[in-house]
Structure 1
Amino acid sequence: MAEVTAALVKDLREKSGAGMMDCKKALQENQGDVDAAMDWLRTKGLSKAAKKAGRAAAEGLVAGLVSGHGKRGVLIELNAETDFVARNDKFQAAARKIAATALEHDILETIAEAQTGEGEVIGDMITALIATIGENMRLRRTARLEVADGAVALYLHNVQGEGVARLGVLVALESTGDPAVLKDVGRRIAMHVAGTPTPPLALTSDELDPAVVAKEREIQTQAAMESGKPREIAEKMVEGRIRKWQEEVVLLKQPFVMNPDQTVEQLLAETSKQLGAPVAVKGFVRYELGEGVDKGPDGPDFATEVAQMTGKA
């Protein structure tokens, strides 16, 4: 048997476009014969799958799952090229398997290397789906929230099947209060995050991205100056506008969609009083299918990014 060297793997990878581990396995299965390994990859559909990898994949599904004890939840986004594939039973089953695996997998960044409950490697499962269905697919991002005391709530909007939708939200509440009440309140806050006209950018003002704040400040300053005000006066006017903007984009300051007379922060205070124990939002995650994906052929590829969740996991 010929030695499977790094050079052989590199050569086969360049010829086939398949992944490095797939090329290594193909060479091992075929005693280092590159031509036979190429045929092996084609038989498995792996070379075909690799050729589709450059095509934009902004459709697909968001899948969510909460653990049986209700203290851990995950969201994942699995992309495909068309919404037709999102209705495919195999694709939906794959999204659910990935969510179930992410629920138990400690390092979400390596989820593609993890095995499902049936022993399938996530990355291999997706590659096989590409070969079977004929569209490019990517596991774009995963997130997990967990609390020691409290509850993690899930809300799926525009549901496409069991546990899969086009938009998903997780909310983690920390409290020693009644878990059933916390789950209900958490779900209502998750529905707020999904349905509010201005999706929240952060939990508190302090957690807003400084670059986003700076950009908004510059926009408001320019708008004030265009009204004829000197820059120093315009900057003072801007402070009030920034505070108002923060109330619009910070979750705790937003009017609660189910009762606009109170903010989300006031809802939490009311719940704390009801339970006789403090209630706080530890974090939230909002995944809307395809958001931020550049669909142009020459645009940046966001499909392999792992989104950062709001709050601590």
Structure 2
Amino acid sequence: MSVSAKQVKELRDATGVGMMDCKDALQETDGDFDEAVSLLRKKGQEVASDRAAVEADEGLVATAVSDTGRAGAIIEINCETDFVARNDDFQSFTHTVAEQVLQEKPNDLEELKGLSYEDDVTVEDELVALTGRIGEKLTIRRFDVLESKDGEVISYVHPGSKLGVLVEVHGDGEAEETGRDVAMQVAALEPIAVTRDEVPEEVKEEEREVAHEAAVNEGKPEHVIDNIVEGKLERFFEDHVLMEQAFVKDSSVSVKEMLNDADLSVARFTRYALGD
């Protein structure tokens, strides 16, 4: 049967699917709008099924922070190509889901996928529909929520949206500006902990073993090896512990010294780099 341009436009507005696909769906369902919507969703599921084994290692990292600054969310959603990562619909979906995570604080990915996206459509429904429209495998890979009772959560997303950070800061200083500096520090230098006490014992032990073996292989005298090992562990802390790293904006001071001057402290951080 023939369908009008108005019908096609209404279906496109409702689903975001291309004009020709909307026209074909309406013709296949004899002009029944609801059946056409259902058909397009099923086609999206077929695309998702067909591409299930394909690697999806491109995508976006997005953050959302509450108006009060007491909570922040970070999410990674993957696609197959960087071209799709720049797609307006994909970007809109990613940021909308980040906001949903912030508002609803789901416990896991399954709960997240069951959240309402809009009207009677769930996040998973929209993910499948978007997969059908775009034609690539799309996956919600991971998310985190930081909540603070008496501090502030600051976010930073590096240009290109492949790297994002949430930082929880406390104190009486200028949290927004300084917190952003700390978040950029975390993004750039990839610390593994806020303080050395938070570094897992197995990581410390591994660093000691590597340093000990290197000293032995270099023929260092036995009585100095322990000092060499501890010296290398100190340098490891300086490189990998946030508070002990040199501040990226002024390498003459450590991050801890910078924060002390700003009357602030850092409780924790979360760093997402695409694909990590």
TM-score range, shorter chain: 0.7 to 0.9
Of residues 187-196 and 119-128 in structure 1, the stretch that sits farther from structure 2 once superposed is 119-128
Aligned length: 237
Query: Equivalent residue for 1:51?
Result: 50
Identity, in percent, stands at: 38
Query: Equivalent residue for 1:309?
Result: none
Separation of aligned partners in 1, 2:254 and 2:206: 26
Structure 1 residue 168, shift from structure 2 partner = 0.9
Query: Equivalent residue for 2:177?
Result: 184
Separation of aligned partners in 2, 1:173 and 1:246: 21
Contact residue 42 and residue 48 of structure 1 kept, 8 A = no
* 1:1-313 correspondence to structure 2 within 5 Å: 43-109=42-108, 110-116=111-117, 118-159=119-160, 165-175=161-171, 177=172, 181-196=174-189, 199-229=190-220, 233-272=224-263, 279-291=264-276
Contact residue 40 and residue 132 of structure 2 kept, 8 A = no
Contact residue 155 and residue 166 of structure 2 kept, 8 A = yes
Separation of aligned partners in 2, 1:117 and 1:202: 38
The CA RMSD over aligned residues, in Å, is: 2.2
More helix by share: 2
TM-score by length of 1: 0.70
Separation of aligned partners in 1, 2:146 and 2:212: 37
Q: Which amino acid aligns with 2:163?
A: L
Structure 2 SS opposite 1:148? coil
Separation of aligned partners in 1, 2:269 and 2:120: 31
Structure 2 SS opposite 1:193? helix
Structure 1 residue 95, shift from structure 2 partner = 0.2
Q: Which amino acid aligns with 1:168?
A: G
Separation of aligned partners in 2, 1:219 and 1:213: 10
Contact residue 62 and residue 77 of structure 1 kept, 8 A = yes
Distance 1:280 1:47, change over 3 A: same
Structure 1 residue 40, shift from structure 2 partner = 6.6
Tell me which stretches of 4 or more aligned residues in structure 1 moved more than 4 Å: 39-42, 230-233
Structure 1: gaps of 5 or more residues? 1-38, 160-164, 273-278, 292-313
Structure 1 residue 107, shift from structure 2 partner = 2.7
Contact residue 40 and residue 129 of structure 2 kept, 8 A = no
Structure 2: gaps of 5 or more residues? 1-37
Structure 1 residue 230, shift from structure 2 partner = 6.0
Structure 2 SS opposite 1:45? helix
Q: Answer with 1 or 2: which has the greater Rg.
A: 2
TM-score by length of 2: 0.79
Structure 1 residue 214, shift from structure 2 partner = 2.6
Distance 1:183 1:117, change over 3 A: farther
Structure 1 residue 100, shift from structure 2 partner = 0.3
Contact residue 79 and residue 136 of structure 2 kept, 8 A = yes
Distance 1:71 1:118, change over 3 A: farther
